[in-house]
Amino acid sequence: MHDKQDTQQRFTHVLTATGFPVSITYLYPPMHYTGRQVPTTVAAISEPLVIPEVKQFDAFIITGAPIEQLPFDQVTYIDEIHHLIDELVKQRIPQLYICWGAMVAANYLYGIKKHLLPEKLFGVYPNQVLDDRGLLNGLPNGFLAPHARYAELDYRQVVDAPDLILESTTVGNHLFSFRARHRQQNFLFAHLEYGRDALIKEYRREKNAYPDREYAKPQHYFADPVHMQDPQFKWQLAQKLYFRNWLQSVAQNVTDEQLIKE
């Protein structure tokens, strides 16, 4: 994520709003800063990832990152991410992968290929429920969610993968979510953690970085799309239910693991 502090505030909000008691630790990959000093802003709000220590966590989220246009092998800290995923699987820790995090994990674990989209998928779209036995429990068919990405995983590979269950897509078959059949792994491609103003912030950030470029404007988002005013928070229900369902599944996993140990 570009704005790490804003991202952390979003996740803290959506996780605590579920009503579950949560203790959240934010981590950064040290390999990302090899040969340079960790920015003070990053060091102030997060801790360095120490892979052997992840076994202390009840669950783990790997978030998105603004690098989905890069091939995986060009990501400087890809080996660290792979080692982290290996440890999460080894320790049987529930995993939630979001956007780029979902892309890199599904590629590493299940060989699902990534490709660039012709243009950025950017806006609020209805999503069809294909399987509601997981984290989509309680969500109505056609629920709304914000999508914001330049890349996508191979839809046909996901459908054909025997170890994956496709849960939801947009009407145009862009991925919303799928899950692993035999592991507690969830892959989310929409940014359900986004708050009301997140899409317009993302557009302005990109536009300010390269003012001479044309950028896609978020679709189906503004009450006044002509003037890009009055963003609508149409995914609030989906946000609440999805993260509540995830934390409920984490709590159940903790109970199950304790019973196994006893």
Q: At residue 228, does pLDDT exceed 90?
A: yes
Check the annotation: does 55 bind a ligand.
no
Domain count, the chain: 1
pLDDT band at 7 (very low <50, low <70, confident <90, very high): very high
Check the annotation: does 120 bind a ligand.
yes
Q: Percent of the chain having pLDDT more than 90?
A: 89
pLDDT band at 216 (very low <50, low <70, confident <90, very high): confident
pLDDT band at 35 (very low <50, low <70, confident <90, very high): confident
Q: pLDDT tens digit string along 62-108?
A: 998 889 999 999 999 999 999 999 999 999 999 999 999 999 999 99
Range of the domain at 212: 4-261
What CATH number has the domain bearing residue 41? 3.40.50.880
The pLDDT assigned to 214 comes to: 86
DSSP string, 238-257: HHHHHHHHHHHHHHHHHHHH
Q: Based on the residue annotation, tell me whether 191 is a catalytic residue of this protein.
A: yes
Extract the tokens encoding 57: 């966590």
Q: At residue 175, does pLDDT exceed 90?
A: yes
Q: Based on the residue annotation, tell me whether 99 is a catalytic residue of this protein.
A: yes
pTM to 2 decimals? Answer: 0.95
| Helices 78-90/100-110 angle, 10° precision | 70
Catalytic residue among 68, 152, 167, 193: 193
DSSP string, 4-33: HHHHHHHHHHHHHTTSS------EE-GGGG
DSSP reduced 3-state for 56: helix
Sign of CA dihedral 14, 16, 17, 21: positive
Catalytic residue among 99, 152, 167, 202: 99
According to DSSP, the residues that pair with 169 across neighbouring strands are 128, 175
Catalytic residue among 68, 152, 191, 202: 191
